Structure 1
């Protein structure tokens, strides 16, 4: 399933024409997620305008982190994706995105950086935290970073890096991301749409990703569209076919390795006759074992529920022993219940580890 995600610095979403442009972008591009930046919405207007722009979609805003002027409103189509907000701040929102159809997952940081260098330093620290959270999972960053990364990203050019650019470059190096392949506009911001003499253009909006994202979504690419009525270009992240399906690795719960049935089960699987090269035979034997290992895993039902049930049973039987201390049958049941409870607790501990 093709997945399209967009960020657009609309520079004020109070006017009906800009709200309609957002709706048109969502409809015409068949978006699954859309983050609207620099909305300038007030607390009392966010709800109604958010409902209008995103219609039947789910949506959130970060208005509580900037109550005088909402910086970001983000919506998504719940029939196509599930979105979990992991971290939200004034300049960035980290989400876990999962597609409904093929269950592809990736982390996405939606960025609207502040105009000042001092404020952006907080963003660079927050992105470092996002990297630590994403770890080795696919992670993409998209939005308005409000600073260029290279001298050729300014229409006037330049011969040296500024302090702001160096800090941005240091952040990019630290979080180990890079621009994904893109098409469309090179300069994503214009100083003035209405002034025919304006020649100041910059690349402020971008889509970057870590190595895991590029590897897993090898056909993903960015598209920077015309500005229309904003001074920023809409940035689209297009993932044509979702996540590349990989064979599931051979895994089983560690606690069943201590069960008496485990070794005989593995031994029987190893003895099965399979023709082919050595690696093929190993893979086929492991695959054949999966069903039996899964059955052993659930032999006693849900481990966590089992612990709770056995605890109640043990408490009850120990109360009976207290009432009838000379009844050997009850005492034998109490010993068995204790052993069952201890074994279930050990299984639970191993799963949690």
Structure 2
């Protein structure tokens, strides 16, 4: 518990899920007191005598409300007391065989039907998702991954961006006897991904544990941050619009799940359109004012020599560009209204 207490303090954690604690229920309160009285707790001893899932939070900062407990999951809502952040959160612990994990996949899939807001699922799934998720040991088979893949597809969940170590667990073996796997993950629904676009999960060094702790900062946009993406109708008239959409929609997706394919393609299209908007439409009001100034400066030599063809050409080009951007500005105002 000393290591956990130090980890929570050094990483400024406000909400934590502890999995497979191996603490008997009668001893749980002693452990929690050692961590500190600033933390409140939810555990699943009623569903699992081994209390495999604990959730704790700093009650001065965060409000947590229990939604549902099972042997594999604790579902709750998490919200900051300042009202700037809220999500549905599920802490998950998967059992050690394909058959014993199937009730967990059903639980996650069924819970999805009740969620109408951003939903984050994190934990030790004890299951690989991709063929590259293990080094040494037995090769990963489709039988190991298909339930996880199907659960994510049917629940509309996709993995969050991550940094740090790729593999989250090892058997601590020496040399070629060391087996490493990626069995701990953070996944979320489309509402989460669209609201917290810059969230990154950090896979930290495991220390004395055989698992890497996963740490994610949820305060990325709490202070304002960048504007959310909005598609303006005038972009559809851009000469490169269809090419950008086609390029984004043609990106390949490493997994076969139809929901993730759609999500990946839409994300690629959005990124392409953001880049196009930044290149040709950013700071629209400033561009218009600049063009008005340019046009005024052109009229001075034109008044002195009205027949100068070069100045006439400059006037025509500047005037047409100004009219184009005024039309774009009017279209944007109409859409906002």
Structure-1-length-normalised TM-score: 0.61
**What is the deviation of 1:157?**
8.2
SS of aligned partner of 2:9: helix
Taking the aligned partners of 1:244 and 1:210, their CA distance within structure 2 comes to 23
2-structure distance, mates of 1:147, 1:127 = 14
Counterparts of 1:185 and 1:241, CA distance in 2: 22
The answer for the alignment partner of 2:35 in structure 1 is 53
Match of 1:221 among 196, 200, 213: 200
Counterparts of 1:180 and 1:282, CA distance in 2 = 32
Matches of 1:142 and 1:117 in 2, distance apart?
19
1:141-170 per-residue CA deviation (whole Å, 9 max, x = no partner) reads 101000100110101387763312111111
What is the aligned partner in structure 1 of residue 215 from structure 2?
236
Equivalent positions of 1:66-215 (< 5 A) are 66-67=48-49, 69-135=50-116, 137-156=117-136, 161-192=141-172, 195=174, 198-215=177-194
CA contact (8 A) 2:160 2:200 kept: yes
Pairwise CA distance, 1:183:
0.3
Deviation at 1:243, TM superposition (A): 5.0
Tell me the equivalent position of 1:287.
none
**What are the superposed Cα offsets for residues 8-46 of structure 1, whole Å, 9 maximum, x if unpaired?**
xxxxxxxxxxx1111011100000101111111112101
SS in 2 for 1:125: helix
The residue that corresponds to 1:30 in the other structure is 12
- Structure 1: how far apart are the matches of 2:216 and 2:86? 15
Q: Decide whether the 8 Å contact of 1:83 with 1:95 is kept in 2.
A: yes
> 2: CA distance between counterparts of 1:66 and 1:197?
36
User: What's the secondary structure of 2:31's corresponding residue?
Assistant: helix
Q: 1:198 Cα shift?
A: 2.9
Looking at structure 2, the residues matched to 125 and 242 of structure 1 have their Cα atoms a distance apart, in angstroms, of 33
Distance in structure 2 (CA, Å) of the matches to 1:48 and 1:188: 29
| SS of equivalent to 2:27 | helix
**What is the aligned partner in structure 1 of residue 250 from structure 2?**
none
Cα separation, 2, equivalents of 1:211 and 1:244:
22
Report the RMSD for the aligned CA atoms in angstroms: 2.5
Q: Which has the bigger relative contact order, CA under 8 A and spacing at least 6? A: 1
How far apart are residue 72 of structure 1 and its match?
Answer: 1.6
Which one is further off, 86-95 or 151-160?
151-160
Q: C-alpha distance in 1, partners of 2:222/2:88?
A: 13
For 2:140 and 2:12, how far apart are their aligned partners in 1? 41
Summarize the Cα distance change of 1:282–1:189 in structure 2 as closer, same or farther, 3 Å threshold: closer
Q: 2:34 & 2:143 partners in 1: Cα distance?
A: 41
Cα distance in 1 between the residues matched to 2:335 and 2:97: 59
| Distance in 2 of aligned mates of 1:280 and 1:230 | 56
Q: Please say which structure displays the higher CA radius of gyration.
A: 1
User: 1:176 offset after TM fit, Å?
Assistant: 1.2
What is the Cα deviation at residue 133 of structure 1?
1.3
Count of paired positions: 235
CA-to-aligned-CA distance 1:306-330 (integer Å, 9 cap, x gap): xxxxxxxxxxxxxxxxxxxxxxxxx
TM-score, length of structure 2 as denominator length: 0.64
Task: Note if contact 2:38-2:60 (Cα within 8 Å) is conserved in structure 1.
Answer: no
Write the distance in 1 (CA, Å) between the matches of 2:198 and 2:51: 34
Structure 1 residue 105, shift from structure 2 partner: 1.2
2:3 is the counterpart of 1:21:
yes
